[in-house]
């Protein structure tokens, strides 16, 4: 019985218009109070309405029936009061407990660790803008909106430099870096980017682990190369996304603008592709192939969203694990269904899981910083 239905019956009782079935239903409800939906009624509403019902019954029932019914009604009232208090207490306690659990699981934020060429580590967080240092003719500044910016004090092509910096995010972190040549890189959670302090004249080579979105400044004389564990992407000036987490079975490069050359050195001649905008390369084992891409889905993370497009639950929960910094445990049979949809990455973890649960194909339980997945 819903709150609204219950209130309507109680109103009819007050007006003396309830049917015999409705009176029996109310009595049954009082004696068998177990529907969690009804627990949403306040204690004041319960007691005021119950008093009125009892008063109405007292006026309408024949005296002979009042004698036999009042013990049952009094018992019902006692049961109702006790169960109401008990259910409210348990619900409030469970809600408080769940709120405490989910309060500990917050979305990721703009944080990272910068490792300088001398090995010194700088933790990047907080809102204040700050100039960190000057190195190799470059000013390194941390901004208030989660960016690390390298600004050339002199022409960064004037010298070749062997010094490197590295920017690293952990689970639950993301960050951006504007490189010495002006190229802009967004790093997703659990990712790292290693790059020269100054690119010099020989080209622009960076190393990526995890996921990064690149907007590369055009320079026809210095190709920009991104090296991952098993592939290399070469561009002149373009926008693209690379997903190359070491614990994933595949590497994916998605092109939004320009042109890129993807190569897998281990595959020799079979491992070279040229991508056009709207295409993506997928490297799985000994196979490198190109296909049409959903570019919006590929860069949804950079725009602050999860966008699932026919993904299995293991793939989805990897993303949830990295972004919310939680452990994911699968119990029993793993759901084989595919899921689709979009939800903000800055929603609470319970909102993300709830959207998945609404499909009826998967269920979740949160225990401290663990999410348990069941079919």
pLDDT of 237 reads 85
pLDDT tens digits for range 171-206: 999 999 999 999 999 999 999 999 998 887 878 999
Residue 155 has pLDDT above 80, yes or no: no
If one compares 151 and 244, the residue with the highest pLDDT of the two is 244
User: Exposed, middle or buried by CB within 10 Å (0-12, 13-18, 19+), for 35?
Assistant: middle
pLDDT of 15 reads 75
C-beta separation of 142 from 108 below 8 A: no
Report percent pLDDT > 70 for the chain: 72
Q: What pLDDT band is residue 285 in, cutting at 50, 70 and 90?
A: confident
Q: What pLDDT band is residue 354 in, cutting at 50, 70 and 90?
A: very high
pLDDT of 216 reads 96
Name 206's bridge partners.
Answer: 226
Residue 134 has pLDDT above 80, yes or no: no
Instruction: Kindly state the average pLDDT of the residues 267-277.
Output: 87
Instruction: Compute the distance between CA of residue 90 and CA of residue 77 in angstroms, rounded to an integer.
Output: 20
pLDDT tens digits for range 93-119: 444 445 445 557 899 999 999 999 889
Instruction: Kindly state the average pLDDT of the residues 285-303.
Output: 94
Residue 223 has pLDDT above 60, yes or no: yes
If one compares 233 and 133, the residue with the highest pLDDT of the two is 233
pLDDT of 201 reads 81
Q: What pLDDT band is residue 25 in, cutting at 50, 70 and 90?
A: low
Instruction: Kindly state the average pLDDT of the residues 267-296.
Output: 91
HEC per residue, the chain: CCHHHHHHHHHHHHHCCCCHHHHHHHHHHHHCCCCCCHHHCCHHHHHHHHHHHHHHHHHHCCHHHHHHHHHHHHHHHHHHHHHHHHHHHHHHHHHHHHHHHHHHCCCCEECEEEECCCCCEEEECCCCCEEEEEECCEEEEECCCCEEEEEECCCCCCCCCCCEEEEECCCCEEEEEECCCCCEEEECCCCEEEEECCCCCCCEEEEEEEEEEEECCCCCCCCEEEECCCCEEEECCCEEEEEECCCCCEEEEEEEECCEEEECHHHHHHCEEEECCCEEEEEECCEEEEEECCHHHHCCCCCCEEEEEEEEHHHHHHHHHHHHCCEEEECCCCCCCEEEEEEECCCCHHHHHHHHHCCCCCEEEEECCEEEEEC
pLDDT of 18 reads 75
pLDDT of 40 reads 44
Instruction: Kindly state the average pLDDT of the residues 76-102.
Output: 48
pLDDT of 41 reads 47
CATH topology of domain 109-298: Jelly Rolls (2.60.120)
Instruction: Kindly state the average pLDDT of the residues 161-169.
Output: 89
pLDDT of 43 reads 47
Instruction: Compute the distance between CA of residue 287 and CA of residue 271 in angstroms, rounded to an integer.
Output: 8
CATH of 305-374 given 1.10.645.10, 3.40.50.300, 3.50.50.60, 3.55.50.30: 3.55.50.30
Q: Point out the least confidently predicted range of 49-53, 128-132, 160-164.
A: 49-53
Residue 210 has pLDDT above 80, yes or no: yes
pLDDT of 327 reads 96
Instruction: Kindly state the average pLDDT of the residues 214-239.
Output: 93
Instruction: Kindly state the average pLDDT of the residues 334-341.
Output: 90
Mean pLDDT, rounded, of the chain? 80
Two tokens at 51?
């008093």
- Longest pairwise C-alpha distance within the chain: 107
pTM of the model: 0.72
pLDDT tens digits for range 308-336: 989 999 999 999 999 999 999 999 888 88
Q: Point out the least confidently predicted range of 34-43, 179-188, 205-214, 242-251.
A: 34-43
Residue 146 has pLDDT above 50, yes or no: yes
Sign of the alpha-carbon torsion through 299, 304, 308, 309: negative
């Amino acid at each position: 019985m819903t709150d609204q239905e219950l209130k309507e019956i109680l109103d009819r009782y007050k007006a003396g218009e309830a049917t015999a079935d409705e009176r029996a239903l109310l009595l049954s409800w009082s004696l068998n109070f177990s529907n969690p939906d009804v627990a949403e009624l306040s204690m004041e509403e319960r007691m005021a309405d119950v008093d009125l019902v009892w008063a109405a019954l007292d006026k309408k029932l024949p005296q002979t029936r009042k004698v036999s019914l009042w013990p049952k009604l009094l018992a019902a009232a006692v049961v109702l009061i006790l169960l109401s208090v008990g259910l409210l207490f348990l619900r409030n306690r469970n809600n408080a407990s769940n709120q405490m659990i989910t309060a500990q699981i917050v979305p990721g934020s703009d944080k990272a660790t910068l490792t300088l060429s001398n090995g010194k580590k700088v933790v990047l967080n907080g809102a204040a803008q700050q100039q960190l240092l000057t190195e190799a003719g470059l000013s390194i500044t941390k901004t208030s909106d989660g960016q690390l910016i390298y600004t050339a004090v002199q022409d960064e092509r004037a010298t070749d430099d062997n010094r490197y910096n590295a920017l690293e995010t952990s689970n639950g972190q993301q960050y951006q870096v504007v490189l010495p040549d002006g190229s802009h890189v967004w790093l997703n959670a659990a990712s790292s980017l290693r790059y020269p302090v100054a690119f010099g004249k020989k080209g622009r080579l960076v190393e990526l682990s995890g996921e990064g979105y690149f907007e590369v400044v055009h320079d026809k004389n210095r190709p920009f190369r991104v090296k991952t564990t098993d592939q290399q992407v070469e561009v002149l000036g373009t926008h693209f996304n690379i997903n190359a987490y070491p614990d994933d079975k595949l590497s994916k490069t998605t092109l939004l603008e320009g042109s890129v050359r993807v190569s897998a050195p281990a595959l020799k001649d079979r491992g070279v592709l040229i991508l056009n905008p709207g295409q993506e390369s997928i490297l799985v084992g000994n196979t490198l192939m190109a296909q049409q891409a959903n570019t919006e889905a590929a860069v949804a993370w950079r725009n602050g969203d999860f966008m699932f497009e026919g993904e299995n639950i293991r793939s989805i929960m990897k993303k949830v694990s990295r972004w919310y910094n939680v452990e994911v445990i699968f119990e029993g049979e793993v759901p084989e269904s595919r899921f689709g949809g979009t939800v903000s990455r800055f929603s609470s973890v319970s909102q993300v899981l709830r959207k998945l649960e609404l499909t009826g194909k998967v269920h979740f339980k949160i225990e401290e910083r663990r999410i348990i997945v069941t079919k």
